Structures are given as structure tokens and as C-alpha cells.
Structure 1
């Protein structure tokens, strides 16, 4: 098989990063390189032409997930004509939904990657990116009435607990109770 063009190699790398970002959020960073590459439609050997290690991919996939999250926040602001309160309310509605609970691959990296990132070494690139992403998300959630960190902790905790109790009535009760707590003041 011949060499791929530089453009094709870049496209392949992008596909691997996007696939890894989704799989890591859905299944955790323990997903094997072989399974990841199969999901991306590429060979296992192609991985090592693109990445120095799996850890390097975890770093890049984490950054990709947080870049997408920031893009969603910017799009929300644009959709709501720059009205931060309306954007935050829409985010809370979406974040604390059954759809978000049931689709971690397309969801928030804060909740989906927390356990795996906690196991990373203190100097890992993924941990640095995660920490910056959490800080940025908390800043985005801050308003005159509520601290962004408290709001993020409520969102995060509710989502994680609702995923862990999925299939029971408690799961949806967690989502609706957290939603009410975050939105009762407007």
C-alpha cells in the first residue's frame, strides 16, 4: 500500500482525535489503541505514524473535547444575541437532560473524563487541559447571583449521579432537582 498524502494524513489524524475524544468520553481512556483505530476506520499501525504514544492522544483528545465545549458556549451566546443569562439557562436545560445523560460520547468532557483525568499524573498534558477547561467552564457559568464553580459542581454532580443511577426513578429526579436548584432564581 502506498504512502498517503499529507492532506490525507492530516485528515486521518483529525479523525483519530475526534474518535478518541468521543470514545474516551463514552468508555474512558482505557479504550485500547486497536479498538480506537478500528472505530476510526484505520489500522493499528497507522496510530504510531500519527502519535508518539497513547498518552499524547489522550492529551490531544482532551483538548479537542474542551475546544468543542468552548465552541458550544460561543454558539450559544450567538444564538441568544449575547445574552449570557439566556445562554446559561439553555445550557442548564441541555446539560441536565435525559439526552445528555444517555449520550456521554457527545457530552461534556468535565463529567465524562473526570475519573480518568484524576488517575493521570499531576504533570500530564491532559490534566492541565482539563483543569483549564474546568476553570473556563466555571467562568462561563458565573453570574451576579451564583458562583460559577458552585453551578458547575451542581451540574457535574447531578449528571454523574444520574448516569450512575440510570434506569431508576432517582436518575431523573436528580436531574430535575438540580435543574430547579440552578434556575429557581431566574
Structure 2
């Protein structure tokens, strides 16, 4: 391959990677308080520096609220499908205890990214792996089935209404320097 062609292919690959990536919001789940069953919603209001309006963490009733709480949590639909396939567990009714289920973005890096869903804008905060509490609430083996990389914490940067089916846009990472 000529150096010119190699350079062109490399540039094309970099540009494709840096563009925003698009997915869909497949599901929204909230719970009134720690340990309460998750309930599915067609829409939710994201509140700046709080979370989803009807969720336990925005209400101050989450299990980890004092030590390790997240405003909003998400999981990829593809991770849920993998976990269900490998474990035989049913996770469709929110047993994963995550607020948002995103589809079409399974291999997208979320670290240091901004995520727009409907009217709301979120900043990636950190990875949120499942823990032993999940097994107590949703049943033994749930945390192991989901795996260490099956959750992310987000912070609400811009308030707004989000709806199941909304477009999810993950920005390119901010340039350093």
C-alpha cells in the first residue's frame, strides 16, 4: 500500500471515530426508594445535579446516596442481552437496577463524553459496576451475570424531558490542551 493511501485510510478512520455516535433510548426505569422494584416509564424529567425526577436518587432515598450514589445510571441493551443469554436470568423488568437502557452503542467509549438524550444533556461521571447489593435486591447471580463493565454513572448537565425511543448522541471527547 502506498504511503499516500495509508495516510488517507488512517485519516478516514480517525474522522469516523471522532464523529458523534448515535443510538436509541430503549427503556427508562425509576424506583421510589432503595430496594423498591424498578418501574418502567415512557418518559422522565432529568433534573440538573439531581437525576431523574421520580427516581430514588433525585428524591434522596437511594441505597448509596450518602457514599457512592449516582444521579443517573445506564446500561447498554447489548450487555443486558448478553447477560440474559449467558445466565438465563430475566432482566427485562429493571432487575439490573439501571435507570436508562441504551441500544446501538455497545462498543462506544463513554468516558469523558457528553451524552444527549432527547432534551437533556448528561456528562459521563464514572463506571458503575454491579455489586453485592444488586444480588440482595434482584436475586443471586445478577451482579456476576451483568459483569464489571455493565453500568455507568451520569451527571445531568442540562435539564430536559427524555422519552423511550429518543435519539442518543454521544459526543467526541473534548480535546485536551
Is the helix fraction higher in 1 or 2?
Answer: 1
Normalised TM-score (structure 2): 0.25
Is the strand fraction higher in 1 or 2?
Answer: 2
Normalised TM-score (structure 1): 0.24
